């Protein structure tokens, strides 16, 4: 009789025939309270901001750039070249000093920004070059002030 029922109902019908003991109830414990930013329905929550500086990504080939006037391009070009030269001098001064690990990491980051700024100049992306050179300058200025 049981095999006939199995054939008729398949495996899904066995629960009705064979009584399985139900598992004991588990007491629900509330999750620990963590502060979260309020979100609106359907909006994804953003990951927490990172404190480490991230190197700027190179634009994709054929990426669109904002239209700049010739005067603005020239101003950005000069600012980038000035900052690149200043940063290179500061880095050479800083390399002779005894630095702690976080300061050495800041120097590596500044060098990375400097390399990317030079690359952006080669690509005639003056706005990006000026931005990267400015970031490198800010890092090296801060280091120069703390390592005197």
How many angstroms separate the CA atoms of 80 and 75, rounded?
A: 9
Report which listed range, 17-21, 97-101, 127-131, is most confident: 127-131
Using DSSP's 3-state secondary structure scheme, residue 25 falls into coil
Single out the residue of 37, 55, 144 nearest to residue 96, CA to CA.
144
Q: Is the pTM of this model over 0.75?
A: no
Domain boundaries, the chain: 70-146
CA dist., res. 32 & res. 70, Å (int): 58
**pLDDT per residue over 47-105, tens digit each?**
454 444 454 455 555 555 668 888 999 999 999 999 999 999 999 988 878 889 999 99
Helix, strand, coil distribution of the chain in percent, nearest 5: 55, 0, 45
Domain covering 70-146: architecture: Up-down Bundle (1.20)
What are the pLDDT digits (tens) for 27-37?
Answer: 555 555 555 55
What's the CA gap between 81 and 132, in Å, rounded? 11
pLDDT tens column, 113-122: 999 999 999 9
The first and second tokens of residue 84, run together, are 């690149």
């Amino acid at each position: 009789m049981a095999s006939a029922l199995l054939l008729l109902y398949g495996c899904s019908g066995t629960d009705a025939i064979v009584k399985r003991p139900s598992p004991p109830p588990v007491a629900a414990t509330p999750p620990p309270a963590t502060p979260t930013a309020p979100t609106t329905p359907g909006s994804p929550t953003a990951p927490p901001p990172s404190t480490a500086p991230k190197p700027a990504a190179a634009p994709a080939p054929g990426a669109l750039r904002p239209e700049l006037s010739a005067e603005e391009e020239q101003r950005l070009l000069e600012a980038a070249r000035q900052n690149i030269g200043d940063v290179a001098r500061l880095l050479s001064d800083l390399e002779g000093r005894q630095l702690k690990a976080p300061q050495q990491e800041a120097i590596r980051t500044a060098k990375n920004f400097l390399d990317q700024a030079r690359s952006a100049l080669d690509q005639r992306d003056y706005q990006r070059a000026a931005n990267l050179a400015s970031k490198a300058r800010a890092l090296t200025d801060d280091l120069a002030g703390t390592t005197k």
